Structures are given as structure tokens and as C-alpha cells.
Chains A and B, each alone.
Chain A
């Protein structure tokens, strides 16, 4: 595991996040420091309440820490206004969720294209890139199917294509196999494992130790703290 700064895609430094105030304050995350490097295939694992969802929100620039600093590609995002944070999110991060979160009235291609909207792209170019992304997850032939016409595994692959089409630096997957049967789960994990590259990291947030152990690096959490950070392969 190299610690060369240029390789660090994202860094959390002494990050804490609390909800509520006064007596009712809940510390979801305590002084967490973590670096995500290009080429990483990391799993963040922990039981419910361990703070991994909070971690996901922060890693995904969906939330701001109460204290500490988060940098994405060397850019400090902690103090950024919502619009600027949204921009960083759109440029650097791709999301895959347990519940897929596809837009029901759009077909597979339309769902993938949604990630490329408002980016000043010509429709033809957007379409082409989206088709490529769908083909990459093996769903090129089902581009005109709506979510209801697709199986769970296929839906999650469409979500993967949507996350990939923006060429994000970090692919964040939240329990990506949680709603899938074993066979589809294995298929999705296989695709995920092949997605990290010299420029990209794949981060899986899960409570499933089997899934967590299939990653190259495992970060274990408990009670809002990182309790271990081990390289498995």
C-alpha cells in the first residue's frame, strides 16, 4: 500500500460527525482518518450502528463532517457550499445502492443518460457513452427495457453502468448485493472487482463479512471508529 500523495484519491483526516445537540448529541463518527488510493478495492464493514452509513455519506460528499477535513483529489471539500459539493460529487464519485434507485419511467439507457445530463454534452455523444457503459456491464442488448422489465441483477448492473458513465475516480457501492440472490450477487461482485484501475478506486460499504473479505483491503468499523485496516491480497 503506497502512501504517495499523488495516488490518494480521497482522504479523511480526523473526521467526526455528530447528530443532534446538547444532551441528545449522538457521535456517529469519531476522529476517523482514512485514505483511498487509486487502484484500491476496499470494503468498509461493520455491524449496524458502527457508523458505516455516516462514512458512506461523507465519502460520497453527500454530507459534511462536524469536524476534521475531507479532500477529494487534493481539493478540500469540508467547507464547500452545497452547489460546489454537488459538482465535486458529479465529477468524482459514482454511486451504487442496495435498492438500485433507478428512475422507473426511464428505460435502461435513459437511466444511464441521467448521470450525464446538464453537462453540456451533445445528445448523440451522451447516448454513445451511455451505450458503451451499458455494454460494459453486459446489458447493451437490453438498453430499451424499463426497470420493471429487468431482473434485480440486471437492474443493479444498469445502476453500475450509470455510476461508471461519468468515469468517476471513486465508485461507492452501498450494500450492492443486499437485494440480490447469490448468483446475481456473485455476478455483480465480479464486475465490481474488475472496475478498479490505476485511476479509480472501488469502495464497498457492507455488513456482510463474506462480501467484505472478497475485497483487496478491508476496513472494519465499530462504534464510530475504525478498528482495523488490513490488506487481504
Chain B
């Protein structure tokens, strides 16, 4: 134990005695590790908020919609689409909707002249939709079975539309939907997987049929939450289960896929910068080997006297290796801190979330130590092989 402490102490004293040289030794592993950590961290941070969103939203929302193969208008899904979808065992819950087009919505009836009259999406939905989408209400309530059965003109609006119309939470308001007064009963929060819902109006299927459709109401789209481990198979199975015998085709879409794709870190960029970091650390290692080799020559008299005083070859070799290890440890730690600082500064400037995989820190230090030890091996061997008789120039 005392011997080990002596070794560490001599290494530290030796390094501290030659501060500039030590600083030069530290730079190699430090810059290399910092570059690698910053590269991985910054490329991850760039997509950090998206990744968090994907994790939050889940990747198991599947959309199945009717699409006309003949270019016909308003393709629909079968009436019993929910039951059909539920026959796929990996489907957990389903919500059907009908999207109505060309309906003009204004904050109140008289606003029609002043207000922009671009049609906005009006969606007929049942009470399951927010459950399947896993979206909370900003205020109020969702459409319920009373709305469905009573023919009451109740509407839920997206949070974007609420902002646009100046609807306050819990405010009693009516809006004009295609010429009918609808009472706003609730405001739905943003649906990240379906951004269009931000500015949509949701009404019951009954209202949709009574006010806007000539025929019986039929859904044209369903949302299904499915077993997360079998998303793709389920999407395929849904096509078959729903489409059997119907005139229109069924298209499925895994809603999170686009988002996931966007959230993926730029692997190529990462690879390039990491390679440059590795190169820096290898050059740093060569620098250590070079500087230490020169140091062995400069310190040959010191090594000679130490050998004469009874320090063995092994002690001399370990002493030099230990200097390299200390350089690796300190260089590695400084490199990790520098890399973290780079991520932090970079992410702050770009407005990203700070993301750093926890394994990066120990990996960086280990890499720095490994390189330093490898670089120290040759000079350590040379130092140990010096003959005291030759270095002391006796006589």
C-alpha cells in the first residue's frame, strides 16, 4: 500500500514539476474525448425534444382510412368497421371519425362577411376519440352519448381554433358551423400525431348526419391503439379485416413513423465527427508516446540514479506508465467536462434539449486511459531498459 502511494506520489510530482509538458500531454486525450462526446451529444440533442415526444406519444397508433381506387368522392369505411377492426387481436381500442369537407366555420353568424371563409375541417366523432389518441381536454368536456342521442348541437374545438376565435376556457360560446349554431362544450389539447386537429371542430356523428350529410353517416377513418410489439403486422391485418368485401380500399398508416424518422439522429454526421474525434485522440496518443520518449532521454540521468538507489526496472516502468495513466484520467475527465460544456453551449444556442447518453462519460475516460497507456508502453519499456552504468557516465 505504501509502495503504491509512493508510485502515485512520484508520478504526480513528476507531472507537476513539468507543467507545460504535462499540459501538452493532456491536450491530446482531452480534445479527442471532448470532440467525441460533443459529436454524439450534439447530434442527439438536435433531435432530443422530438425523441422525447415520440416516447411520450407512443409508437402504436395506427390510422386506417378509406381511399377510393376509382377516384370517387368521399370514400367510406363499412358501418361495422369498429367491430371488424376489433377482430384483430392485437388491436386494443378503436375510434372512428368522419371528416366533413367544405364547411365554413365562423365565431358567430354575423362574422361571415368579415371573417376569412376558408373551410376548416369538421370531424364527426364518438366519445372514444380522445381516449384512443390519448389527448387531454384543455377545458370543458368531450362529446358524450347525450350529444349523440339528443341531437343537441354540441361542438368541441381544437386549441388552435380556440385561440383564433378567442374562446376562453369554460366560456359559454356558440360558433357558426356551416350556418348552424353550435355550443362549444370543450377545447381539445394539441394532438401531436394529428396536427390538423388543432384547428378542427368536432361534433357528434348524429349532428354530422342531421346537418351536413344527405346519406347515412359512415366513418371514413379509424384510429386504433395496438400492441406496441406488433405494430406493423397489425397495420397489415387491419387492411384485410376492414376491407373484406367493401368497394373502397383501406390504407393504413402508423402515425408515429414520420415523427420517429425525423427524430433519428443524423448517424452519418455523427460518424464523421466521431471519426475525427478518434483521429484526434490517436494523434494525441502519438504525441504522448513522442513526448514521453524524449522525456526518457532527458531524464536518463534521473533514471540511472534511481536504478543505482535500488529502484527496479519494474518500478521504473510502472512509474512511467502511471504518469501516462494519470494523464489519461485527467485528460479524460477534462475532455468529458469540455464535451459536456460544448453540448450545453451548442444546445442552448440552437434551442435544443441537452441530451447526453450516460455511458458517454465513463466511455470517454476509459478511452483516454486506454490510449494513454498504449502510448506510454513504449517509453516505459525504454526507460526500464536503460543501464545505470551507461547513463551515469562513471569515471
Contacts and interface: CB of A to CB of B under 8 A. Distances in A.
Contacts, number: 84
Given A86-B312, A117-B10, A101 B307 contact: no
B7 A97 contact: no
B311 A97 contact: no
Nearest to A60: B308
A140 B70 CA distance: 106
Interface string A48-90: 1000110011001011000000000000000000110011011
Contacts of A97: 305, 392, 394
A106 B13 contact: yes
B341 interface: no
Contact of B14 (A63, A105, A117): A105
Contacts of B2: 119-122
A95 B309 contact: yes
Contacts of B18: 105
B3 A120 contact: yes
A115 B394 CA distance: 19
Interface string B142-166: 0000000000000000000000000
Contact of A118 (B3, B13, B307): B3
A157 to B, nearest CB: 16
B17 interface: yes
Interface residues of B, number: 31
A176 B314 CA distance: 29
B389 interface: yes
Nearest to B309: A115
B3 A162 contact: no
A86 to B, nearest CB: 5
B309 A90 contact: yes
A153 interface: no
B121 interface: no
A101 B315 contact: no
A61 to B, nearest CB: 9
A224 interface: no
Nearest to B318: A118
B392 A83 contact: no
A82 B312 CA distance: 8
B395 A95 contact: no
Given A53-B395, A117-B6, A120-B3, A162 B13 contact: no
A87 B394 CA distance: 21
A175 interface: yes
A52 B389 CA distance: 13
Contact of A52 (B301, B307, B395): B395
A90 B310 contact: yes
A121 B394 CA distance: 30
30 contacts: A53-B394, A57-B389, A60-B308, A63-B389, A82-B313, A83-B312, A86-B310, A87-B310, A89-B310, A90-B309, A95-B305, A95-B308, A97-B392, A99-B393, A101-B301, A101-B392, A102-B305, A103-B302, A110-B13, A114-B306, A114-B309, A117-B10, A117-B311, A118-B3, A119-B3, A120-B2, A120-B3, A121-B2, A162-B309, A175-B395
Interface of B: 2-3, 5-7, 10, 13-14, 17-18, 301-302, 304-315, 387-389, 392-395
Interface of A: 48, 52-53, 56-57, 60, 62-63, 82-83, 86-87, 89-91, 95, 97, 99, 101-106, 110, 114-115, 117-123, 162, 166, 174-175, 205
Given A83-B314, A95-B308, 11 more contacts: A86-B307, A87-B312, A91-B310, A97-B392, A101-B301, A101-B302, A105-B17, A105-B18, A117-B10, A166-B309, A174-B395
